[in-house]
Chains A and B, each alone.
Chain A
Amino acid sequence: MEAAAFWFAAPLAVAGALGIVLQRNPFYSVLALVVHLIALAVLFLLLRAEFLAAAQVIVYAGAVMVLYVFVVAYVGGLEDPLTEPSPALRALAVVFCVALLAELSVAIAGSGLKALDTHGPELEAGFGSPAQIGELFLTRFLIAFELVSLLLLIAAVSAVVLARREHEQPAASPQADSRVADRTG
């Protein structure tokens, strides 16, 4: 059962990834990313990460994808590569990435971790549940939790600053900086 689910979700994830890279139209790339993310959520469930799978579907496939679709619709699906990159460079990139894959595979095979060829240890019932994740976040990973919330605040403010409609040409940095600080702070 678990193997069947894996062999269903893993090719789907790879197909989604290939779709992102090979589609000319960015809109189709975004849709392929949704397929990829949902397949990854299935894999997370197989790895007993229930909360992470739910967060993946809600945060990524929900919120982030809507943002992508909006921006693609706003900017327009202008993929047409203005100048086709030289085929030699493209081939070089593919060769580089095949080498990267080979290197990663060698690293996995050569890591010598005995547990790699097992299903992992038996786990208690609450593993990966929201309760366990929440408890870890508020005890051992409290500092990371607080830093991440600060990061989200900075990202939200910076998005507002970046996407603001400029009526005048942006002035040289000192005034512009103080103006931004006044508005946001």
Chain B
Amino acid sequence: MDIVWYLVLSALIFSIGAVGVLTRRSPLVVLICLELMLNAGNLALVAFARMTGTADGQIFALIVMIVAAAEVVVGLGLIVAMYRNRVPMDVDELSELRG
């Protein structure tokens, strides 16, 4: 397969993820859609690594995966804390998360 197909697929997945981040209201689903966008970036990085024939892009993708894992841990911790404090699970209501 030509490399360009992978890049087009990556752009498509990134856009779908952006739709999710902009339209969904549950913070959990927004986190999942962020994950989707990060994965689209990963796919582009790996495709470019294949294109240049060096593994540097794969290292970048691996580090993006680790950053995404850290983001998920903190995000889910926040969601659990919000649930405990009975904050409504709606991103519009979360515009002021103070104390």
Q: Which residues of A contact B88 (CB under 8 A)?
A: 82
Report yes or no: A120 in contact with B51, Cβ–Cβ below 8 A.
yes
Contact B8 A108 (CB under 8 A): yes
Q: Identify A104's interface contact among B6, B11, B36, B52, CB under 8 A.
A: B11
Which residues in A have their C-beta under 8 angstroms from that of B2? 116-119
List A residues 68-86 near B (Cβ within 8 Å): 68, 71-72, 74-75, 78-79, 81-83, 85
How many interface residues does B have (CB within 8 Å)? 71
CB of A162 within 8 A of CB of B39, answer: no
- Chain B interface mostly helix, strand, loop or mixed? helix
Nearest-neighbor residue (CB-CB) of A20 within chain B = B32
Q: How many A residues touch B, CB cutoff 8 Å? A: 86
Do the beta carbons of A59 and B67 come within 8 Å of each other? no
Does B9 lie within 8 Å of A128, measured CB to CB? no
Chain A min CB distance to B3 (Å):
5
Q: Which residues of A contact B78 (CB under 8 A)?
A: 162
